Amino acid sequence: MKQINLLIFILFTTIFTAQENTYVSGSFDSNSQILQDDSGLNFNAPNDNFRSNNYFQLDFQNGKILYGVQFESYLPSALLGYSDVFSDNSEIAQYYLKYQNEKNEITIGSFYEQFGNGLIFRAWEDRQLGINNSIMGVNYKYYPSDNLEFSIIHGKQRVGFDFSNSVISGLNSDYNLNKLLKSEKLDISVGLGFVNRYQNLDAGFNEPKNVSVLGGRFNMFYEKFYFNLEVAKKNSDVLANENTILSQRKYDGTALQLDVGYSRKGLGINTSFRRLENFNFYSDKLAEGNIYNQQTVSFTPALTKQQDYLLTNIYVYNAQPRLTINNLEKRAGEIGVQNDIFYTFDKESLLGKFKTKLALNFSYWGSLNTTFNEDQSYETSFGGSNERYYRDFNLEIKNRWNRKTSSTITLLNLSIDKGVSQGGPVGVQGFINAKVGVVEINRIDQKNRNNRFVVQHLWTKEDKKNWLGFVYELGISNNINLFLSDIWNYGNDNDIHYYNLGGSFSKGATRVGFNYGRQRGGLICVGGVCRFVPESNGFNLNLSHSF
């Protein structure tokens, strides 16, 4: 069936591409590595030590009709740390046909979509994380007026070059009340979403074939204030973990996220509160617990500060929405808060001649206050935390001293459960307490080249002890950039340097980047979503071009 649909799409594309007024755009992205043995890391390169991820995308537009195709190749294997579902495959992975006018938009084929904040549904792609959760099916949107939108989705979720053994269906609506309120200061919108997964697994555990999630949203902006609330409820389903259904008992799930904030010139305050109880939702219930974020339907990223430096990214929080009941750990989800304060001083302040920027961030995440019973049932309260998962405090000061020199000072104090940091059982291994200090200086020299210096240090008595790091980047021109970096893990028996050197060249829409060095093992996170990567050593090459 997949081959037949693809042949029909290719025929359609050939016919329309031959017509006049067809606009073509696209991109090519290639990421390759050559791995090599490294006795210092106890890393032995695999037999297929050359690995490459490649993406070629073409998009066409002819009037109100849009269509496109994406070819992907992972030969001989996907990059280290990516799911094996991609390895040793090379073929057309996605294709779509879209028609749109003022009131309608319909997509047939592969599509990405998001309901609200993505709490109940998000289909998206992030190549750096190895995630592509697109849906192959139909996505229809209807705009009866400027302030009202309806959408319907139906199809199968992508898994590598194949599709899940379930069907995802959903409805979503968004309504803006501005015309009704007739207020220039007040902006209110509401939304309602519904997602259903149909899966005939027939595993003998009396598991339901249909599991649904219902969510509602309320957004308000009033002058300098904003208030966003999203709540969701998941129907009862059996508990599973890594291809195994654990029992016939069924559990429902809930989610709540609240965002409030205030902003004016020079000041911004943002607070996010979220409570997740048994709120992981996959297109295949047996995919729960996989470490590659494959087949996820709900989107629950970690709500913490997104760090920019090598050492501030060693101990990062990974969201814990799952219900887990086993001999090692028992937990029902997470509850926590993140706060941000941004302040810009006036010129000629005590901290510098130009406007100094101050950023404060605090976050706390812990388990739900839960009592577990012998029959694997449990009771939990709405508020409160049983055990801490993660806590951090960040201070950042950005200053421009003159037209050629600027600096950034970053201080981080954190405490994280070892299981959260290392992917093991949570609540049984103790905590890692760490402090990180970073000084970054950017200086434009006499040849108008930008020089970036970063010195950083991490202090901890747990885990791998202390770290010292530095980065030097030289922007030779707008097109050429070189860098050298090293983070040194010292104070323990395994005294290791993770060195890297490389650079990039860019011209127009083309960029070539390369580096050689060691990859530190652990979590790599983008936008609050993380994947684990093993330690390795080798050469890396990136090539990207768009047109």
The answer as to whether 324 is a domain residue is yes
- In whole angstroms, give the CA distance from residue 457 to residue 470: 9
Residues in the chain predicted with pLDDT less than 50, given as ranges, are: none
Q: What is the 3-state secondary structure (H, E, C) of 184-200?
A: CCEEEEEEEEEEEEECC
Neighbours of 373 (CB within 10 A): 8
pLDDT of residue 142: 98
Torsion of CA 418, 430, 393, 310, to 10 degrees: -30
Query: Which residues does residue 264 pair with via DSSP β-bridges, in sequence order?
Result: 267
According to DSSP, residue 78 is labeled P
pLDDT of residue 351: 62
Residue with tokens 């010195």: 455
- In whole angstroms, give the CA distance from residue 67 to residue 55: 17
pLDDT of residue 516: 98
pLDDT of residue 385: 82
* CATH label of the domain that carries residue 441: 2.40.160
Longest dimension (CA), the chain: 74
The answer as to whether 263 is a domain residue is no
pLDDT of residue 13: 63
The answer as to whether 458 is a domain residue is yes
Hey, what amino acid is at 312? T
Query: 33: part of which helix (H) or strand (E)?
Result: strand 23-35
- In whole angstroms, give the CA distance from residue 439 to residue 432: 23
The answer as to whether 521 is a domain residue is yes
According to DSSP, residue 312 is labeled T
Answer positive or negative: Cα dihedral of 525, 530, 535, 538. Answer: negative
First CA to last CA across the chain, in angstroms?
32
- In whole angstroms, give the CA distance from residue 348 to residue 114: 45
Sequence-distant (≥ 6) Cβ neighbours of residue 350 within 8 angstroms: none
Residue pair 459/442 in contact (Cβ under 8 Å)? The answer is no
Residue with tokens 């989107």: 299
The answer as to whether 359 is a domain residue is yes
The answer as to whether 30 is a domain residue is no
Specify the number of domains making up the chain: 1
- In whole angstroms, give the CA distance from residue 310 to residue 319: 21
pLDDT of residue 397: 96
pTM: 0.92
Full domain range(s) for residue 309: 302-547
The answer as to whether 421 is a domain residue is yes
* CA–CA distances in Å: residue 294 to residues 54, 90, 123, 159, 226: 19, 19, 11, 7, 34
pLDDT of residue 352: 58
The answer as to whether 210 is a domain residue is no
Q: Which of 270, 266, 268 is nearest to 228 (CA)?
A: 270
